[in-house]
Structure 1
Amino acid sequence: MAAVPAQRCITILGGSFDPVHKGHVALAEHFVELLHPDELRIIPTGNPWQKHGLQAAPSDRVEMVKRAFDQQTVPVVIDQQEIQRATATYTIDTLQALRAELGPAVSIVFLMGSDQLQHLDTWQGWQQLFDHAHLCAASRPGFGVEPSQVPAVVMEEFSRRAGTAQQIRSTSHGRAYLASSLAVDISSTEIRSMLQRGERPDTLIPARVLDYIEQHHLYRN
């Protein structure tokens, strides 16, 4: 499918959000500032095939995401299609569904951290992701986007498809963008460990999300 001029731009951020933290918010805000999209769509995973044993219930993860992204400068949509899907969650299926929903003349931009980029080549049908969306990745401390840190086949694909913010904003799919200026190092695993130890990760989680976690006694042993 050839890229077509885009009438709208929608950025997509997927993740376990178990729990959502300031790193997720910073990643989204980085690309909102860069691309000025018409919508930021957040998609909590349902049954991610590479992760097991999500601790928070889907309803809790949805509520935490709502609280984390309630102050954005663009409209935010919480999309529960992966949670509602009974089968294993593959990004390629989600992007195909989004393209079918939104039509051919929308720029769909899938956002990821460089920790995801470093194993992108293990994702189901990863090269076909570009048939439905642009892929934008940002580095984080310990997970860079330099060629030495990303599989050669992934770096080759990103180099071949490299596009400017304007190209990504104005065409439907098929481009790639690497941002090396996002210096936020936060781990959901570390946050869960802190909460289990009774520590309060005030600097790592949006305040309203932490309030929700404490009110509902999430991530306790």
Structure 2
Amino acid sequence: MHLDTPKKIGILGGTFDPPHLGHLKLATHFAKVLHLDALLLVPSGEPWQKDFGITPAEIRLQLTEAAGIDLARAFLYLKISTQIGIDRIEIDRAGPSYAIDTAKALRERFRPDVSLTWLMGADSLLNLPTWNSWDQLLSFVNFAVASRPHYEVSEQMGAEIVTLLEKHQCIDADTLEKSPFGRIYLDNSLSVDLSSTELRNQLKSPSRSDIASEHIPSHALEIITNLGLYK
């Protein structure tokens, strides 16, 4: 995908096994709030923190591309001008998929003054100290964090995250637009309670078809059905 000198780029990484409407809601929300010029969906190659049994990377990429079609349609309907790209940077990179490697590579790809913002849910922020070289990430990107039910950030965060927020948190989303990296914005206006792990488990139930149609984007669901995934 060729982007016309974007100034504000969002990065939504994940296993996307499968991509679900929670991913699309989070992407849509921050595309609007942060006035993103572009949004990159980045499926992980080897998700080192996940259990065994993950769907092969090329299939997850295919599912992510399909979900991107639904996301593009939503953007068109909502008159959101953000360009969407599906980036295989982690799939093409050998070894475990670390966010720090992706952040460094994307910072090298785009101009130094481009605002790069990593989009995540509150659970990811709370688990951040388990990430490889997590304390270096804000040297390359911003964080935009969406609230999630059952994850009260202020009550559950450890001392390391408290310190991180004291140093980097901003209260205005506009700050991220003006900052290439180094800022954290906590957004409490969106609450997405859906995880790929829970969804995979639910898809093994007798009510599979109802659950799938309710939570999975239509183009991705078509591939899942055709390949017989998650049974």
TM-score, normalised by the number of residues in structure 1: 0.91
Residues in 2 aligned to 1:109 and 1:183: alpha-carbon distance in whole angstroms: 19
- Aligned with residue 149 of structure 1, among 150, 156, 161: 156
Task: Count residues in correspondence.
Answer: 214
Cα separation, partners in 2 of 1:69 and 1:7, compared to 1, 3 Å: closer
Look up the match of 2:134.
126
The answer as to 2:229 corresponding to 1:209 is: no
The answer as to 2:22 corresponding to 1:23 is: yes
Return the letter of the residue paired with 1:89: S
Moved beyond 6 Å, runs of 4+? none
Pairing of 1:1-221 with structure 2 (within 5 A): 8-70=7-69, 71=72, 72=75, 73=80, 74-145=82-153, 147-163=154-170, 164-198=172-206, 199-200=208-209, 201=211, 202-220=213-231
Residues in 2 aligned to 1:89 and 1:39: alpha-carbon distance in whole angstroms: 22
Residues in 2 aligned to 1:175 and 1:30: alpha-carbon distance in whole angstroms: 18
Give CA deviations for 1:100-149 in whole Å, capped at 9, x if unaligned.
1113111000011111111111111112101001011111111232x211
Return the letter of the residue paired with 1:17: F
Q: In the alignment, is the contact (CA less than 8 A) between 1:18 and 1:54 conserved in 2? A: no
Cα separation, partners in 2 of 1:179 and 1:54, compared to 1, 3 Å: farther
Cα separation, partners in 2 of 1:54 and 1:174, compared to 1, 3 Å: farther
Return the letter of the residue paired with 1:181: S
Q: Percent identity?
A: 38
Return the letter of the residue paired with 2:165: F
Q: In the alignment, is the contact (CA less than 8 A) between 1:168 and 1:175 conserved in 2? A: yes
Structure 1 gap segments, 5+ residues each:
1-5
Cα separation, partners in 2 of 1:64 and 1:98, compared to 1, 3 Å: same
Note the aligned Cα RMSD (angstroms). Answer: 1.6
Q: Alpha-carbon deviation of 1:54?
A: 4.5
Return the letter of the residue paired with 1:169: E
Q: In the alignment, is the contact (CA less than 8 A) between 1:158 and 1:177 conserved in 2? A: no
Look up the match of 1:3.
none
- Name whichever structure is richer in helix by fraction: 2
Return the letter of the residue paired with 2:228: H
Structure 2 gap segments, 5+ residues each:
none
TM-score, normalised by the number of residues in structure 2: 0.87
Cα separation, partners in 2 of 1:133 and 1:197, compared to 1, 3 Å: same
Q: In the alignment, is the contact (CA less than 8 A) between 1:119 and 1:151 conserved in 2? A: no
